[in-house]
Amino acid sequence: GGRVLFVGTKRQAQEKVAEAAKKCGQYYVNHRWLGGMLTNWKTISTAIARLRELDSFLSAGAQGLTKKEALDRSREKERLELVIGGIKDMAGQPDIIFIIDTLKEDIAIKEANTLGIPVVAVCDSNSNPDGVTFPIPGNDDALRAIELYCELVSAAVLDGIQAEMTKSGVDIGAAVDVKVELPSNPAAEKAEEAAGKKKKAANA
């Protein structure tokens, strides 16, 4: 039931990382890792709030702004969306992060280590496994390999969510006697009432 952050900012990983995270309802960084993205969450939260504000404002039609001002706001939103769009709904630090390319994402690994957040990472022959909690030996350059790792992690997250839901369902079912109330059906009730009156009249 925790938050999983997918990180892959190298060109060939960007699309696959975003797809895999969205598929399992999780979060991603696939453009650029900003220093402090984990360790300075307060500042990142402020940027996320700004992105949400711009999103709402522009969706409402940017009332009261000149064309130039509206364009400036739109560009600001695009810049923020590119960098933090994948974490705007994360609502807090992740419980675990999954990384493609430990050399490129070394800052993300250091920040996760500082906060005690476990790191799962694909480690190529030239990779540095230091700071990686769960290394996955493999090719972090080939597109097909990246796609495979992303799909496997996404599937594992979905399996975990399903297991958690099943477990919760069993617990709830065992602990609570649920009364099911069916929604009322006015037409059926009217028909029943009319039949009752007819029967009463016949008996009279």
Q: Which tokens hold the place of 197? A: 């009156």
Q: Which tokens hold the place of 179? A: 């009364």
Of 64-68, 71-75, 114-118, 158-162, the range with the lowest mean pLDDT is 64-68
pLDDT class of 8 with cuts at 50, 70, 90: very high
Angle at the Cα of 121 from the Cα atoms of 119 and 125, rounded to 5 degrees: 140
User: Average pLDDT for residues 44-60, to the nearest whole number?
Assistant: 89
Q: To which H or E segment does residue 148 belong?
A: helix 143-175
**Going from the N-terminus, what domains does the chain have, and what CATH number goes with each?**
4-38+93-172 (3.40.50.10490)
Which of the two residues, 56 and 25, has the higher pLDDT score? 25
pLDDT over 80 (residue 33): yes
Angle at the Cα of 112 from the Cα atoms of 119 and 33, rounded to 5 degrees: 100
Taken in order 31, 34, 40, 45, the sign of the CA dihedral is: negative
Can you give the pLDDT at residue 5?
98
